[in-house]
Amino acid sequence: MLAFLIRRLVQSVVVLLVVGAVSFGMFRFIGDPVNNMLGQERTQADIEQLRDRLGLDRPVFVQYALFLRNAVQGDFGVSYRQGRPVADIIAERAPATLELAAVSGVMALVFGIGLGVLTAINRNSWASSAIMTLSLVGVSLPTFLIGILLIYVFSVQLEWLPSFGRGETVDVGGWSTGFLTQSGLIALILPAITLGLYQMTLIMRIVRSEMLEVLRQDYIRFARARGLRERSINFRHALKNTLVPVITVTGLQMGSIIAFSIITETVFQWPGMGLLFINAVQFVDIPVMAAYLMLISVLFVSINLVVDLLYFAIDPRLRIERAKA
């Protein structure tokens, strides 16, 4: 177990270093921030001076090494766009993204598993067919379009829900939360649906097919023969055995919910890290892009680690095999 953990940690560091190197290699293709930072009246001398001060003339690996050296000390530099420390900006933006991701994630899990089980048990009912057909929409429509559609229906036509922003937020120990105000909760609804819909349908379809697989197994038949109640067969015996693939997918999807909230945040002007990243790309705000990409890769790496550890908890076979080895 310990050896496994250490090995995974070393691998994680290597992954992070590679992601950083690739990002820095790519920044030069995004463009040059200098023009965005200087006004129309700038002279050639101003441009060269700024490039020099930002260190943009240095080779990419030198820029990367400097970034790493400062990052290790907790200094992620200053945003070219906002002129404030990147660490502060990200800390300020993280709550918006994390709250949105948490709500979407919980929604995707609860409805995904629930509907997956229901459609598996009542596989021939018309309701199941309807849900399955609708789920195709969730899987195939791009997030951007879903967001705009929801805005059109619920904001413009019905005027029930806000089309942008987080509503009012309350500051709790440096964490700005939208959970404590009515407008904050209402503002969460559309973005959360937009962001979580794909994951929800994905989880639902996986749970359903796994359930169908499991329900055919002998031990389920024996359980029925023993006269166990349907509810206990479905949820205690069958569902539990479908969870390994569900956890893998859910884990990775949680990462994508945070990482790919970029589109949802842009559509709903949700002031989170995704919006920050889009702004950074447009402005070529290298410190923000670098910090964000590193943060996202840390997130993915840790989620993978947690998922691996969860396997141990859920699947006894893994524990036994490891012990033998």
Partner 1 sequence: MKRSLFLSTALAVLSIGAAAEAETLRWALAGDALTLDPHAQNEGVTIMLQSQMMEPLVSRAPTGELEPTLATEWAVKADDPTVWVFKLREGVTFHDGATFDSEDVVFSMNRARSEESQMKGIIASVAEVRATGPYEVEIVTNGPNPILPAALTSIMMLDKGWTEANNAVTVQNVAAGEVTFSSTNVNGTGPYTLVSREADARTVMRAYDGYWGKDSFPLAFDEVIFTPIQNASTRVAALLSGELDFIQDVPVQDIERVKATAGLKVESSPENRSVFFGLNVSDTLVAGNIDGKNPLADLKVRQAINMTINRDAIRDVVMRGQSVPAGIIMPPFVNGWTEELNAYPAPDTEAAKALLAEAGYPNGFPITVDCPNDRYINDEAICQAAVGMLGQIGIQARLNATSKALFFPQVNAMETDFYMLGWGVPSYDSEYIFNFLYHTRDESYGSWNSTRYSNADLDAKIKAIAAEIDLTKRDAMIAEMWQAAKNDLAYIPVHHQMLNWAMKDTLTVTVDPDNQARVKYFALN
Per CB under 8 A, which of residues 251..310 are in contact with partner 1? 266-269, 271, 275-276, 278-279, 282-284
Give the helix/strand (H/E) hosting 170.
Answer: strand 170-172
User: Of 170, 24, 189, 162, which Cα lies nearest the Cα of 104?
Assistant: 189
Structure tokens at 183: 């407008």
Cα–Cα dist 266/185, whole Å: 19
Q: Is 53 an interacting residue with respect to partner 1 (CB under 8 A)?
A: yes
Q: Does 177 bind partner 1 (CB under 8 A)?
A: no
With CB under 8 A as the contact rule, the residue among 50, 94, 310, 314 that binds partner 1 is 50
Does 184 contact partner 1 by CB under 8 A?
no
Query: Site for partner 1 (CB under 8 A): which residue of 10, 14, 35, 129?
Result: 35
User: 197 vs 215, which CB is nearer to partner 1?
Assistant: 197
Nearer to partner 1, 29 or 126 (CB): 29
Minimal CA–CA distance to 79: which of 70, 89, 93?
89
**How far is residue 195's CA from residue 179's CA, in Å, rounded to a whole number?**
17
Residue closer to partner 1 by CB (options 255, 287) is 287
Place of tokens 């129309």: 40
Among 20, 23, 37, 304, binds partner 1 (CB under 8 A): 37
Structure tokens at 59: 């080779």
Question: Closer to partner 1 at the Cβ: 2 or 156?
Answer: 156
For residue 133, give the nearest of 144, 121, 119 by alpha carbon.
119
Ordered DSSP codes for 49-115: HHHHHHTTTS-HHHHHHHHHHHHHTT---B-TTT-SBHHHHHHHHHHHHHHHHHHHHHHHHHHHHHH
Choices 57-65, 80-88, 289-297, 311-319 (CB under 8 A): range interacting with partner 1? 80-88
Using CB under 8 A as the criterion, what x/- string covers residues 94-133 for binding partner 1?
Answer: ----------------------------------------
CB of 36 to partner 1, least distance (A): 7
With CB under 8 A, what is the number of residues at the site for partner 1?
56
Q: How far is the CB of 30 from partner 1 (least distance, A)?
A: 6
Residue 80 touching partner 1 (CB under 8 A): yes
Which of 281/307 has CB closer to partner 1? 281
Question: Closest distance between partner 1 and the C-beta of residue 46, in Å?
Answer: 7
Single residue of 23, 81, 194, 259 touching partner 1 by CB under 8 A: 81
How far CA 105 is from CA of 111, 143, 236, 272, 306, in Å, comes to 10, 15, 23, 16, 16
CB nearer to partner 1: give 110 or 153.
153
Q: How far is CA 76 from CA 127, 173, 266, 278, 295, in A?
A: 52, 23, 24, 18, 11
Out of 2, 44, 226, 316, the only residue in the binding site for partner 1 (CB under 8 A) is 44
CA 79 – CA 88 distance, rounded (Å): 10
Q: Which residues bind partner 1 (CB under 8 A)?
A: 29-47, 50, 53-54, 77-85, 89, 92, 148, 151-152, 155-156, 159, 162-166, 266-269, 271, 275-276, 278-279, 282-284
